[in-house]
């Protein structure tokens, strides 16, 4: 099941399926490790939220999270 990243709760892990939005922003996120096929763990949900991407902590706002579609991994 696909859902926006901001739907995940703290502690949940998901695989990124699609990142939409402005090309520049998609590119920037890809550089930071948020791109199709990568795994993220939500450290803290809400806006801004805290994500763990490959052991690196990133902070994103809710509006931006909703443009990232993920597939939760149980």
Partner 1 sequence: MLTKTLTVALVGNPNAGKSTLFNALSGLRQRVGNYPGVTVEMKKGQFTAGGLTVDLIDLPGTYSLAARSPDEMVAVDLLLGRRPEEPRPDVVLSIVDATNLDRHLYLTSQLLDLGEPVVVAVNMIDAAEAQGVKIDCTALSAKLGVPVIPIQANKGIGIEALTQAMLAAAEEAKAPVGPAFPEAFEKEVTSLQTELGADVPGFLTRRLLLDVGGYVEAWQVEHHGQDLKQKLAEARQRLADAGHSVPGVEARARFAWVRAAVAVGVTRPAVRPVAFTDKLDKVLTHRVWGTLVFLVVMFLMFQSIFLWAKPLMDGIDGVREDIAKGIEGNMASGPLRALLVDGVVKGVGSVLIFLPQIMILFGFIAFLEDCGYMARAAFLMDRLMSRCGLSGKSFIPLLSSVACAVPGIMATRVIENRRDRLATIVVAPLMSCSARLPVYVLLIGAFLKEGYSSWVPGLVLFALYMIGFVVAPLVALVLKRTLLKGATPVFVMELPAYRRPKIFAVLRRMLEAGWAFTLRAGTFIFAAMILVWALLYFPHRDANGESYPNRIEKAEEAAKSNEDKLKELKAKPDATDDEKAELEKLEEAAGQADHLNGEWKRSSYLGRTGLYLEPVFRPLGWDWKIGMAALASFPAREVIVGTLGLIYDVGDVDTKAIGNDDADEEAKEKAAGLAKAVKDDWSKDPIRSKYGVAVAMSVMVFFALCCQCASTLAVIRRETKSWAWPAFTFVYMTVLAYLGAMVTFQFGSMIIDAMG
Separation CA 52–CA 31 (nearest Å): 15
Bond before 48 cis per omega within 30 degrees:
yes
Q: Least CB distance from residue 29 to partner 1, whole Å?
A: 7
Residues 4-63 that bind partner 1 (CB under 8 A): 22-33, 35-36, 43-44, 46-48, 50, 54-61
Mind giving me the DSSP string for 16-39? EEEE-S-HHHHHHHHHTT-STT-E
64 contacts partner 1 (rule: CB under 8 A): yes
Nearer to partner 1, 44 or 66 (CB): 44
Site residues for partner 1 per CB under 8 A: 22-33, 35-36, 43-44, 46-48, 50, 54-61, 64
């Amino acid at each position: 099941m696909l859902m926006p990243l901001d739907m995940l709760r703290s502690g949940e892990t998901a695989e990124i399926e699609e990142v939409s939005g402005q090309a520049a922003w998609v590119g920037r996120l890809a550089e930071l490790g948020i791109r199709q096929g990568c795994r993220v763990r939500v450290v803290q949900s809400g806006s801004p939220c805290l994500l763990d991407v490959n052991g690196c902590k990133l902070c994103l706002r809710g509006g931006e999270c909703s443009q990232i579609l993920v597939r939760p991994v149980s």
